[in-house]
Chain A
Amino acid sequence: MSFSSESESISLARRHRKAKLFSIFCGMVTWSGVLLLAVLLYQVSIDGFRWLDWQFIDSFPSRFPERAGIKSALVGTIWLICLVALISIPVGVSTALYLEEFAGKGKISKIIEVNIANLAGVPSIVYGILGLAIFVRFMALERSLVSGALTMSLLILPVIIIASREAIKTVPMSIRYAAYSLGATKWQTAWAHVLPASFPGIMTGVILALSRAIGETAPLIMIGALTFVAFLPEGPMDSFTALPIQIYNWVSRPQQEFHELAAAGIIILLTVLLMMNATAIYIRNKTERRLK
């Protein structure tokens, strides 16, 4: 077989050009995503910046934009995250430990695994409905922080479980065998060796899960977090509002000022999230470097 060298070199050039264009195209697309993020953040910042002051943080919401603030929303969110952490971390990590260390590979484990994978994909608003029917109405916990915390915990539980399992899986079997050979039980081994070794990975997963919980609005709307709250919750049974709810409330108002207030609230929300994500990434990098 012979090729005409001229047509071959032309088509080769064309192919190379195509490849070059393709790579440039893909690069541009990717960087425009970064650009988009920058635009979004910039937009939010200039909209909301002038409202950001101590008064904003320290005031309750009001009909008058100049007097409105996110105090109740901020406190509500803090309460919520603490309760959610208290509930979801033990249950999530316990489930991961059970699946990795204690359960066999039989049918029951498989069922639980598939369950968790499916729950991870259920829309958050369905969790809200679940919370409404079971915690608010059936268990008569009303529209309280507890209802919200339980609902959110169920929402992020699959995330914590999956991340914890991944972390636990990276602990080498040889460590476990060493412990077993010394006459240790499974729990003694898990507590003294597996958990400490997987702790950074678990922490990263927990932080990311909690940061998801902070930003969720729909489930809280469903269970009835209030949108105009001029008081601070004092106990887990009190009603409450949260940052995303307050933001949503302000965004849905027609006035420009409330949109800007919403932007200010978003700046605070994003700052908190950014700090949490940065912590998680920091922990992850430190552990990866240590393992190398």
Chain B
Amino acid sequence: MAKEMQADTAVADQSSELKATSSISASKVRWGESAIKTWLALCAFVSVVTTAAIVILLFSETLNFFESVSPAEFFFSTTWTPLFEPSSFGVLPLIWGTMLVTIGAAIIAIPTGLASAIYLSEYASDRVRKIIKPVLELLAGIPTVVYGYFALTFVTPTLRNVFPDIQVFNALSAAIVVGIMILPMVATLSDNALRAVPISLRQGAYALGATSYEVTTRVVVPAGLSGVMASFLLAISRAIGETMAVTLAAGQTPNMSLSMFESIQTMTAYIVQVSLGDTPTGGIAYQTLFAVATLLFVITLVINIVSQIILNRFREVYD
């Protein structure tokens, strides 16, 4: 046995000589790995830099703007004629125009989007889903300029047949088309939210003798409410930021009229109007661009943040 032990030790010594040659300390700095990690981190910071750039740019030029125009006039006056004499800088008409289109679009898109989402998640078979889901994706992928074309060449003439005294450029046409544009968004996001509701909740309700209508409206939708609401808000935010369709269909006439049949101007359409003309840097026209853009940015940012809060804080916990 002693010999066994000796042989054992001898083998152990040998192997320790062979293998314990390199230390486990960091003998070489991994240059390649550090360089790559640095590159990756820099790329990640592009997003931070972008946000900073947007914020700094918008707010600094807006501050310049407010040196010439008082915030009171900007926010409370109801006339917007920045490019003509006498110039007036009340932004309310632009906000009003945006709101008309957005609310109209929401009235169209939210109920139908939700109904589609309910159909897709509660009623449709897999085969039907396979058809409709790609259709929704396609609808969502259609460029906004195409919707603008559709508004001008199809929607407005059709509306004129029904309402003969509607103007060529009008808010209703834009609202309809923007509504169609954001409908897939509401449908897809709400569908995701509803499908996330566990089957067990539905089964529990059915087991109590509820009909599909009752289960859907009283159990499923309330259970997925945070996702559904978030989808509404995101769609509204998208409608507010929509540019080409409203520029083509709704016109360039800022006013505060209640009628959807008249031409209006949204914030985005104004920005396009200014930039299509030649704007010298530093002039008051250039600055209105930034002031309106900042307003647009802040509004959409607030809505997006609220929707994220709703999604995260009030996300229903099912277990």
Q: Is there any pair of Cβ atoms, one from A and one from B, under 8 angstroms apart in the complex?
A: yes
* In contact, B120 and A137 (Cβ under 8 angstroms): no
B53 & A95 in contact (Cβ 8 Å cutoff): no
**B234 at interface by CB-CB < 8 Å:** yes
Q: Taking the complex as formed, is B152 at the interface, i.e. its CB lies under 8 A from any CB of chain A?
A: yes
Are A33 and B47 closer than 8 Å at their CB atoms? no
Write out the residue numbers on chain A whose beta carbons fall within 8 Å of the beta carbon of B154: 39-40, 43
B301 within 8 Å of A (CB atoms) = yes
Which range contains the number of B residues in contact with the other chain? Answer: 35 or more
Q: Report whether A37 and B275 are in contact in the complex, using a CB–CB cutoff of 8 Å.
A: no
B230-256 CB contact bits vs A (8 Å, 1 = yes)?
A: 000010011011111000100000000
* B267 → A minimal CB distance (Å): 9
B301: contacting residue among A22, A118, A128, A274, CB under 8 A: A118
Which of A61-69, A109-117, A166-174, A192-200 binds B?
A109-117
B293 within 8 A of A: yes
Bound-state Cα–Cα, A90 to B211, Å: 52
Tell me the complex Cα distance, A77–B271, Å. Answer: 23
- A133 to B296 Cα, complex, angstroms: 17
Q: A15 to B296, alpha carbons, bound, how many Å?
A: 46
Looking at the complex, which of A50-58, A78-86, A208-216 is the stretch in contact with chain B? Answer: A208-216
Evaluate contact between B50 and A98: CB separation under 8 angstroms.
Answer: no
Known contacts A19-B213, A137-B281; is-contact A122 B43 (Cβ 8 Å): no
| A187 close to B37 (CB less than 8 A) | yes
Interface string of A15-29 (1 = CB under 8 A from B): 110110011011101
C-alpha gap A240/B297 in the complex (Å): 28
Q: Which residues of A contact B40 (CB under 8 A)?
A: 94-95, 97-98, 102
Question: In the complex, what distance in Å separates the CA atom of A120 from the CA atom of B287?
Answer: 25
Taking a contact as CB atoms under 8 Å apart, the answer to whether A18 and B153 are in contact is no
Contact B119 A23 (CB under 8 A): yes
CA distance A58 to B45 in the complex (A): 42
- The list of the 10 closest CB pairs from A to B, nearest first, reads A123-B241, A215-B143, A19-B211, A26-B119, A98-B40, A94-B43, A19-B213, A121-B304, A218-B243, A29-B115
Contacts of B211 in A (CB 8 A): 15-16, 18-19
Known: A19-B211, A122-B54. A33 touches B123 (CB 8 A): no
B134 on the A face (CB < 8 A): yes
- Per-residue 0/1 for B303-314: is the Cβ within 8 Å of any A Cβ (1 yes, 0 no)? 011001000000
Q: Please determine whether B118 and A259 come into contact, CB atoms closer than 8 angstroms.
A: no
Rounded to whole angstroms, the CA-CA distance of A36 and B144 in the bound complex is: 15
- Residue B139 at the A interface, CB < 8 A? yes
Asked if residues B150 and A40 are in contact (CB atoms below 8 Å), the reply is: yes
Q: Are B57 and A216 in contact, with the CB atoms below 8 A?
A: no
Q: Would you give the shortest CB distance from A159 to chain B, in whole angstroms?
A: 12
Asked whether A115 lies within 8 Å of B47 as measured between CB atoms, the reply is yes
**Known: A25-B115, A123-B240. Is A266-B146 also a contact (CB below 8 A)?**
yes
- Are B237 and A277 within 8 A (Cβ)? no
Q: Does B46 contact A (CB under 8 A)?
A: yes
What are 18 A-B contacts with C-beta separation under 8 Å? A30-B120, A33-B116, A33-B132, A40-B154, A91-B46, A98-B40, A116-B47, A119-B47, A122-B297, A126-B296, A130-B53, A130-B54, A157-B47, A161-B47, A185-B30, A186-B37, A187-B36, A247-B146
